[in-house]
Structure 1
């Protein structure tokens, strides 16, 4: 009988594609575990003479390439010499040419963090006095563009393939061994293997361009591929491919020789497949744990095994759920209620393991309650927790349908012997009449097909089975979105790292302000929120030497993660309320992304001046923040 894809299954496929596309296209460039915590010269500073080198300090060790650190003069010409090198710990430097003229210089960096994510950014400093610059740093992002999107899609598909492969095989071996002889189940698990293999090969090819130039043309650069194979991430991907070869052998046995064995032989083979399959699945999960967030930072020796357990729990639950959905919708052979009950028990254990490991991972990656709302990682984690809670709620409904389905099956089995006697009587009657054997065989096949169709219609009409199918489909739909959120989460800078970087930067800014206090310079930091999409950040205003008369004013606008914020407009107004002077409007000139400057800003009188800054982040979103500064 020809099977057609039901509207609900089509809806699930469309939901998968929509969720994947939406989350991956809106995810933006990948944030990383490492963050820039300091530099020498510092961002925006004006130094009297040209430095011999530029050094950058990160929150953890990073990997460098020959052009990881670049310094560009006001005309955009590179002025660094030699390769960047490690100075000490997490500080890296690049030498500069001697005799550099005055002006504003741009420092760009692109490195790879210890958890395999690219990190990029830029800032400016000036020699002698600020100047205009032709360098644009608005595009200094890592992991963006077409290559970044393809890499994100590859990560999503690799997770999906792993879940279907491991969860589907576990469902057949542990819950429904009859499924080893069901063609749709075989196609599902083989499809998971093919998806994971193809996605791994894609990630391996994309890796060099993803962490480097970001150009599509570099995807097939063999030199880049050779460099990737020498990195931790490259080794993890190659290990995954080797383990997939072992997984192919496991699949061939499970859906080949296994179904043909007798019950006693099958028990021994089940034990062997369970041990071997667990080892291969754990190895595949470890290929993620050994190269990503779990491999660096706090308690890495504990975090990696916990991450492996977490991934296996997710695969067992969501992959088994996918297999159950296929069994309910696509399989000709009816799935027994006992198999559904066994999966329900396995899923419950997986959820317990998922929650336990998830709590530890959340504590490790966030570090504080405030990180749930103040960091992007925490916000995504809240979404994930909500989806898991919704999934557990739907699963509870599925368990109720399973219990009712079991009662129905028991009643049907009691009536089965009588039907079999009637069928046997009809068969015997046909034989007694004799007739052409070929005709009898043809009739028998037709009768078998009719019986199969009738049984399927009877099963589909069963309200309990229909309810179970509907609830499992809803679970699978939520699982698709959950997987997409998890994929984005793995590419997002952990909340603990983001907050530590902010604290280190604040301490560095405070130290800088203290050191310049003697020279009369004033620095004001003000947080703002224009209320629109991506409207939060920090604006910093520097007055030097903060005296009556002419002053140099610099305005820096940054995102909450410390990166330069490319906004269309900044205005400054100065008011001395005690003397009813002002507001004196100052419109600074744009120097670089997130950096504005105005020279010879006249302060007519000493006093406690109110400095109001108007920040516009879009055509309609703007806000004004203010702070007082003692000038003169």
Structure 2
């Protein structure tokens, strides 16, 4: 039920708007611009450092020919060498697919023109976003990874410190192994889908060369390190969690009672130990002294590996693409560790301990766990607050961005869970086990939703990115050629959006195709539904003779009729019309 809830929650929230965490903020030539000759290089500037996806950064000439060489990157500037097209006049398209600093793909297209605008070349499919199969697989894999981590940490803590002596450990040990497998599958899946996120290909279409390129990138090396950590934990952790030796098992209730603030029961009458030969006794004493030392070394090793493994999560996400990466990475490790302790502990209680355990034993275990959970939640909130402050950037992003709204929803659910946990803590004091079972079930279900929302948050643009996205350039605009018996006019309007700042660049030619000088240019725009009066727009001829530059205002969304009236001589005048649609 837990995993079903996670999957449903993860898949029912749209993930498609969240594939890009860097934004293009400039280019040379400028988007929508018209230049006199073909450039030898074009550049695209992004809001943060990026890495180009091989074969998916290109410049396409007006006739559809690819004229670009291998793209290079310097920080947040991508440089693309280009050769002269066979037919250089017309509109060019810069199509790009890059990987942002937080490992997410960014795709898009920008246009510019040489001489005069023409029909826009068709953009490659890779620039439109990831394939639907990849868009579904990525958040699902992240959810499985988070779930696997909680199934490792929670049961492991209980088995190491709070497990009742008379309860079987088999189920909890099996859960730890399942957690390791889930985390490994999620990590391998992330490695196997990164190339498709970059190329825009479906999930099943990936080459060995692409996988090798991912594996040798910083993202791939971090995930391979995580797989190595998981393999080491799978070997080192189970021996620490299996049944304890009689001496250690006898000491466990005493420690737990001390944690719970209850005086231990009087010790049982001593039983004389069987006599053993001196040499054998010395050997046994040495072996007994060695085993705890080995256990301590193994435990310290597992703890260090756990911290290293947890660090690979923020290092491959939003935390590294901020002004204070050391702070956000540290906060990310603490946040994930606290989350795994809290949710994993709840799952362990609900699945193994609240039923079938002697109430007296629960009376010892639950107060200790209650204090651990309170500390975990405290660190969870503190680390989450640090991360949210850095990622939101401004308070208004909390309600103006998808990231902020998801974060607010997560906080609201978390607050409700904490209210339930407060009631559960009072029940622990009263030792009302039956009601406690129901409340823990509610906590687990709500925590599952929090976990799913976390997997979505790492896919959504952080609030701090919104400012860059507001400045982002696009290939938006329209180009068209209109013809009369008197002339042919080609024009480009950029970017075709609500407001006054839509640039119009027009070119005039004779019916034979030669540049034609205009004596007068007029342009009007009229909203057709509802029908309004035509409004004159500012436009004027340039010194080049056959060109005019102006602007057009679109105050409301809808379809506008554009009318060009051009006088070529004192007597010759003609009018052409077309329509453009402006969305809200």
Q: What is the TM-score normalised by the length of structure 1? A: 0.68
Describe the shift of the 1:261–1:281 C-alpha distance in structure 2 as closer, same or farther (beyond 3 A): farther
In structure 1, the residue matched to 2:338 is 313
CA distance in 2, matches of 1:392, 1:493: 27
Supply the distance in 2 between the matched residues of 1:101 and 1:291 (Cα, whole angstroms). Answer: 42
Partner of 2:83: 97
Offset at residue 182 of structure 1 (A): 2.8
Aligned equivalent of 1:78: 66
Alignment of 1:345 with 2:379, yes or no, is: no
Q: Which residue of 1 aligns with 2:115?
A: 128
Residues 388/306 of structure 1: CA separation in 2 closer, same or farther (3 Å cut) = same
Question: Residues 399, 144 of structure 1: CA spacing in aligned structure 2 closer, same or farther, 3 A cutoff?
Answer: farther
Distance of 1:102 and 1:551 partners within structure 2: 25
Q: Return closer, same or farther for 1:213/1:144 CA change in 2, 3 Å cut-off.
A: closer
Q: Deviations over 1:417-473 (max 9, x none)?
A: xxxxxxxxxxxxxxxxxxxxxxxxxxxxxxxxxxxxxxxxxxxxxxx3221111111
Q: 2:9 aligns with which of 1, 6, 19?
A: 19
Question: Which residue in the other structure is 1:33 paired with?
Answer: 21
Does 2:367 align with 1:395?
Answer: no
**Equivalent-residue separation in structure 1 for 2:358 and 2:197 (angstroms):** 46
Tell me how far apart the structure 2 counterparts of residues 571 and 539 of structure 1 sit (CA, whole Å): 19
Per the alignment, do residues 502 and 222 of structure 1 end up closer, same or farther by CA in structure 2, a change over 3 Å counting? Answer: same
Deviations 1:384-423 (A, max 9, x none): 2112111111111211222221xxxxxxxxxxxxxxxxxx
Q: Aligned to 1:193, which of 172, 180, 191?
A: 180
In the alignment, which residue of structure 1 is the partner of 2:260?
none
Q: Aligned with 1:112: secondary structure?
A: strand
Residue pairs, 1:360-375, within 5 angstroms: 360-375=386-401
> Structure 1 residues 614 and 597, CA, compared in 2 at 3 Å: closer, same or farther?
closer
Quote the residue 2:226 is aligned against. 240
1:253 corresponds to 2:239: yes
SS where residue 140 of structure 1 aligns?
helix
Contact 2:6 2:451 in 1 (8 A): no
CA offsets 1:504-538 (integer angstroms, 9 cap, x no match): 769xx9xxxxxxxxxxx9989865xxxxxxxxxx8
In 2, Cα distance between equivalents of 1:482 and 1:369: 22
Contact 1:180 1:259 in 2 (8 A): no
Q: Rate the CA distance shift 1:17–1:95 in 2: closer, same or farther, 3 A.
A: closer
Match of 1:549 in 2: 521
2:37 maps to what in 1? 49
Q: Distance in 1 between matches of 2:409 and 2:378?
A: 19
Specify whether residues 524 and 157 from structure 1 end up closer, same or farther in structure 2 by C-alpha distance, changes over 3 A only.
Answer: closer
Contact 1:571 1:613 in 2 (8 A): no
Residue 67 of structure 1 is aligned with which of 55, 58, 61?
55
In structure 2, C-alpha distance between the alignment counterparts of 1:303 and 1:161, rounded to whole Å = 23
For residues 404 and 446 of structure 2, the distance between their equivalents in structure 1, rounded to whole angstroms, comes to 20
2:269 corresponding residue in structure 1: none
CA contact (8 A) 1:108 1:121 kept: yes
1:456-499 C-alpha deviation (Å, 9 max, x unpaired): xxxxxxxx322111111111111111111111111222211221
Q: 1:179 to 1:168 in 2, by over 3 A?
A: farther
Task: Give matches, 1:55-454, under 5 Å.
Answer: 55-80=43-68, 82-86=69-73, 88-99=74-85, 100-133=87-120, 135-136=122-123, 140-176=127-163, 178=165, 181-219=168-206, 221-258=207-244, 262-263=248-249, 268=292, 275-328=300-353, 336-405=362-431
Report if the CA contact (8 A) 2:91-2:121 is conserved: no
In structure 1, distance between residues paired with 2:500 and 2:123: 20
Give 1:474's aligned residue: 442
How far off its partner does 1:282 sit? 1.0
Deviations 1:223-259 (A, max 9, x none): 2221112111111111111111221133321342536
2:510 equivalent in structure 1: none
RMSD of aligned residue pairs (Cα, Å): 3.8
Distance 1:328 1:570 in 2: 67
Residues 138 and 242 from structure 1, CA distance in 2 versus in 1: closer, same or farther, beyond 3 angstroms? closer
Alignment partners' CA distance in 1, 2:62 and 2:530: 24
Structure-2 change in CA distance of 1:367 and 1:13 (3 Å):
closer
1:499 is the counterpart of 2:473: no
Shift of 1:599: 7.6
Whole-angstrom distance in 2 between the partners of 1:577 and 1:75: 34
TM-score normalised by length of structure 2: 0.74
Q: For residue 64 of structure 2, give the secondary structure of its aligned residue in structure 1.
A: coil
Change (3 A) 1:103 1:183: same
Corresponding residue number in structure 2 for 1:438: none
Q: 3-state SS of the aligned residue for 2:244?
A: helix
Q: Following TM superposition, by how much is the alpha carbon of 1:215 offset from its aligned partner in structure 2, in angstroms? A: 2.9
Structure-2 change in CA distance of 1:222 and 1:330 (3 Å): farther
Instruction: Tell me the residue number matched to 1:429.
Output: none
Is this contact kept in 2: 1:68–1:84, CA < 8 A? no
- Paired with 2:63 and 2:321, the residues of 1 have a C-alpha distance of 39
Q: How many angstroms apart in 2 are the aligned matches of 1:208 and 1:372?
A: 32
Report Cα offsets for 1:534-590 as digits up to 9, x if no partner: xxxx8963234799734599x9xxxxxxxxxxxxx9999664499xxxxxxxxx9xx
* Secondary structure, aligned partner of 1:356: helix
- Aligned to 1:211, the other structure's residue is in SS state helix
Change (3 A) 1:490 1:331: farther
Structure with greater helix share of residues: 1
CA shift in 2, pair 1:550/1:128, >3 Å = farther
Displacement of 1:277 in angstroms is 3.7
Provide the rounded CA distance (Å) in 1 between the counterparts of 2:524 and 2:387.
47
